[in-house]
Structure 1
Amino acid sequence: MKLFVTGGTGFVGSHVLQQALAAGHEVIALRRPGSQTRIPLDTEEPTWLDGALDGDHREALRGVDVWVHLASHTPNPPYAPLDACLYWNVYAPIKLAQQALQAGVGRFIVAGSCFEYGRAAEGLDEIRTDTPLAPTLSYPSSKAAASQAFAGFAREHGVQLKLLRIFQVYGEGEQASRLWPSLRLAARSGADFPMSAGEQVRDFVDVVDVARQFIRHLDFDAHPSPKGEPSIHHIASGHPQTLLAFAQHWWAHWGATGKILPGAMPYRKHEIMRLVPHLDPDTLHDHA
């Protein structure tokens, strides 16, 4: 299968490239000139296409079976202003998707975020794929706008589209300021780890498993998405836990000698206390 991938040098994208190449797919990966993958690739390199997301890439898109969009603008706090997030997370990828359509591509996969649900998740034991989107802050708002824009694009043009909303991903190649890498650094250095009270409930999913689920969804025949009817899927582990329980698990795993200090830091502004997805039986079987 021939793939065109955006965001291949990012955290999730690097792992998707790794698994796509290992599975024997032909991959064209768009990247900013000079950017490198977050993890070393164990396989051969993809065919790199140096350029901007909003450039003209119609020639490279010819003969592509599936367009996979993983690029995202400022997915970690502090987020860029809303206008920049809307440009790079909505306008630029839609422009590129239109080029793919002109080149004959009919199958699209777009990475989304659990934070698109925002305040709609409050009071819900599980978030369903039809839960309304009520994001807070600029980045989640732009991703929610992108979901709506891509869904409209699929309906208008009668193409197959999967929106894959990723829950709390962690693992190798993750930005150093995020929870799991920060926790590992403190554990290995013998330092204490100050954190919030840690009562937030999340579905933590290893980035390797996230990539595996993306590769699984490349098969539009085994996991269909009707033409003109976009489908939404949750990319998660099915094992929710509090941030504190997650931290304590890894603290013990690394044999840390310091102390975790829950409550030493305040919650972030607009903190969502529970983000737990409903997973369909097929997805649950995939994790069995």
Structure 2
Amino acid sequence: MKLLVTGGAGYVGSHTVRALLAAGHDVTILDNLSTGHRWALQGCELIPVDLRDTHNLSRRLKKRGFEGVLHFAAKSLVGESKNHPAIYYQNNVGGTTNLVRAMQAADIPRLVFSSTAAIFGNPVSDLIDEDHPKAPINVYGQTKLVVEQMLQAVCESSEFSATCLRYFNAAGANNDAKLGEWHEPETHLIPNALRAAAGTGNPLTLFGDDYPTNDGTCVRDYIHVDDLASAHVAAIEKMNSSSGFNAFNLGNGNGYSVKEVITACEKAVGAEIPYTIGSRREGDPATLVASSAKARSELGWTPEHDSIDEIARSAWNWECHRRDNLT
């Protein structure tokens, strides 16, 4: 298919572009490069447009023959969303609304949307499936849920199809393509632990050690970014034979505590990673673990990198490459 990937110069977007190219698809990237990177474009054409620029967005999508869009472009920092809610609604909700309208005007019928486990809020079950109550506890999660609701309404009222993929904790890197995670500021545990080990980041702080978990630290479901990418390929290809609205939770089904993740990072680095204990962060549930049974059944998708040790090693390999080649 001829596909457009918004946010394709970002972390998950660039890994998905790689997977789409490997599967034989024709890929164009749309990215304003506010957080994406030119080195992640992988030779694809870049359309340098902001989703808030409705005129240029519509103009650049028309008569291009795109058969589908994979949409990653969004603001995604939980803390920032609390401090700047209007900006998050403008970017995430407004930007996606602009994209859908431009797609409809250009007769592009399929959208795969990058959603998040943050739409569920505090879990009420050990494993979170697609029917789990949706009660986001931060603005970021609110904006993603509003977009899901909007997409479902559009699908029900027109000849338009959308699939929402709800990530848990994306992690790791693709070593062969020299792609990986590079955010500024970086808020994710694994890259921050590795940067602390390498001396290129701030000292590591654990936010709370008094949660009702085995070791007192938060438990999360970490999914390798290449597994996320393969799910996106499966989702857009499935839309050739199915229509309407759908949603899938994406995780590996295993929960790892913050301390267990740090131990895996120490194995990857070969050295102890010192840390201090801070207070809990507002909006951090004790445990978030996915049930991906629906994705496994309906998309034929199976995570191939479910070991936290493997995820940490791939992230460390990327960190070493990044320091040597991209800084």
- TM-score tier by shorter-chain length is 0.7 to 0.9
Instruction: Measure, in 2, the Cα distance between the counterparts of 1:142 and 1:35.
Output: 19
Instruction: Measure, in 2, the Cα distance between the counterparts of 1:2 and 1:194.
Output: 44
Would you say the 8 A contact 1:82–1:142 is kept in 2? no
Are 1:194 and 2:205 counterparts?
A: yes
Larger mean CA deviation between 158-167 and 275-284 belongs to 275-284
SS at match of 1:77: helix
1:69-110 deviations in Å (ceiling 9; x for gaps): 111124353325222211111122112211111211111110
1:33-88 deviations in Å (ceiling 9; x for gaps): 686537645x4x22111121022333433311111111112435332522221111
Are 1:16 and 2:31 counterparts?
A: no
Are 1:54 and 2:55 counterparts?
A: no
Instruction: Measure, in 1, the Cα distance between the counterparts of 2:230 and 2:194.
Output: 24
Residue 84 (structure 1) aligns with: 87
**CA drift at 1:26:** 1.5
Residue 203 (structure 1) aligns with: 221
AA matched with 1:51: V
Larger mean CA deviation between 27-36 and 137-146 belongs to 27-36
1:4-47 deviations in Å (ceiling 9; x for gaps): 11111222112112222333321221121686537645x4x221
Instruction: Measure, in 1, the Cα distance between the counterparts of 2:291 and 2:94.
Output: 30
Instruction: Measure, in 2, the Cα distance between the counterparts of 1:281 and 1:78.
Output: 32
Residue 126 (structure 2) aligns with: 125
| Number of residues of Structure 1 aligned to a counterpart in Structure 2 | 279
Structure 2 unmatched ranges of 5 or more: 173-179, 210-215, 305-327
Instruction: Measure, in 1, the Cα distance between the counterparts of 2:264 and 2:34.
Output: 37
Are 1:143 and 2:144 counterparts?
A: yes
**CA drift at 1:181:** 1.0
Residue 266 (structure 2) aligns with: 251
Instruction: Measure, in 1, the Cα distance between the counterparts of 2:137 and 2:117.
Output: 12
- Structure 1 vs Structure 2: percent identity of aligned residues? 23
Residue 173 (structure 1) aligns with: 181
Residue 156 (structure 2) aligns with: 155
Residue 66 (structure 1) aligns with: 68
Residue 104 (structure 1) aligns with: 107
AA matched with 1:184: L
**CA drift at 1:154:** 1.3
Are 1:226 and 2:226 counterparts?
A: no
1:115-162 deviations in Å (ceiling 9; x for gaps): 11113x1x3111111222111121111111111111111111132210
Give the TM-score normalised by the residue count of structure 2. Answer: 0.77
Would you say the 8 A contact 2:117–2:167 is kept in 1? yes
CA RMSD of aligned residues (A): 2.5
Would you say the 8 A contact 2:223–2:252 is kept in 1? yes
SS at match of 2:170: strand
AA matched with 1:266: S
Residue 94 (structure 1) aligns with: 97
Give the TM-score normalised by the residue count of structure 1. Answer: 0.87
Q: 1:166 to 1:179 in 2, by over 3 A?
A: same
AA matched with 1:82: P
